[in-house]
Amino acid sequence: MGLWDSFEDVRGQQEVAQTGKRKYVCVTGNWSLLASWLVRALLEKGYNVRSTIRTTVDEAAALMALPGAEQRLELTQADMLDYGSLVEVFMGCDGVFHTSSPSDLVSNYPSEMADFEVRGTLNIVEACANSSVKRLVLTSSLAAMVWDQQRHADKVIDEKCWSNMDFCRSKKLWGPLAKTMAEKAAWSLARDKELDMVVINPAIVLGPKVFGTTQCIFTYLKGVKELPQSGLFAYAHVEDVAKAHISALEVSDASGRYICYESVVSEEKLVGLIRKLYPDSSVPSRFSKNGIPHVLSNDKLKSLGLALHAEQKLL
């Protein structure tokens, strides 16, 4: 361990002691852009981190190479469908982040995964309620809010909004359906168990990977059959989304759901962006120029004191 790493580790632990931040936390879910950033951000803030995200050998080695990881990162395994293994992993942790990948416009989400996601999420909630966990921060998705053909385009989408599950089924939108079902089930069980739970509903998560290339807008356009209704295409920088999760744990009066996005792109702008960034790529004919994006509100998220990145950093 180098001198700088030693300094960072000591500084992080002093910050925890001075501010009373929860020190022992667990990050669960699947390997994703968000999960890796969250682990890094937690280490930078001085937390001891226990991670159950599934990784390859190379990904695990990269995580363990992060500053502070050698001293404060524990990589372990837990099965989301095995309640007992989750309780064991959560013991001693004050906070848990369940970072199942946000569902956005991905059209290849398997329909059979919806039941798996619901059952796994319920196990997470149950295990948190029956262990030392003081707060669960759950990653849901903006997709659990926006899909509703009965909502007027002028209506502001905020934390009170839910996607219409019948509409999702009729359109075979299995990703948004799974996110809506899982989040609603989680809220019902958390209230029943009196578990302190906060939910982050991110838009499409973009930005540089902790290891490797940058994840950009075009990544999410491959295989997409249609944009959400009225051209809603919102996105957020991964660093902002990770910070939002940590704030949801640290801010004592944080509660309920928080929409996390930086900007909304209309279909017309999106088509222009594709042509500008990828001039050799054909613009899918399914994208029209007539979309009028819904109005989103992230005022509640801003109340946590977060400053979002500029648009240029997300392209």
Point out the catalytic residue in the list 21, 179, 209, 313.
179
Residue 278 is predicted with a pLDDT of: 63
Q: Give the mean model confidence (pLDDT) for residues 296-302.
A: 91
Take residue 190 and report the two structure tokens written for it: 């958390």
Confirm whether 179 is a catalytic residue.
Answer: yes
Q: What do you get for the CA distance between the two ends of the chain, in Å? A: 35
Q: Would the pLDDT of 38 be above 80?
A: yes
Q: Would the pLDDT of 40 be above 90?
A: yes
Which residues, 6 or more positions from 183, have their beta carbon under 8 angstroms from its beta carbon? 121, 138, 140, 144, 199
Q: Which residue has the higher pLDDT, 246 or 10?
A: 246
Q: Give the mean model confidence (pLDDT) for residues 112-141.
A: 94
Q: Give the mean model confidence (pLDDT) for residues 67-88.
A: 94
Q: Which residue has the higher pLDDT, 307 or 147?
A: 147
Tell me how far apart the alpha carbons of residues 206 and 223 are, in angstroms, rounded to a whole number: 17
Residue 166 is predicted with a pLDDT of: 94
Which CATH class name applies to 22-314?
A: alpha beta
Mean pLDDT over all residues of the chain? 81
Residue 273 is predicted with a pLDDT of: 66
* Phi, psi for residue 195 in degrees, rounded to 5: -90, 135
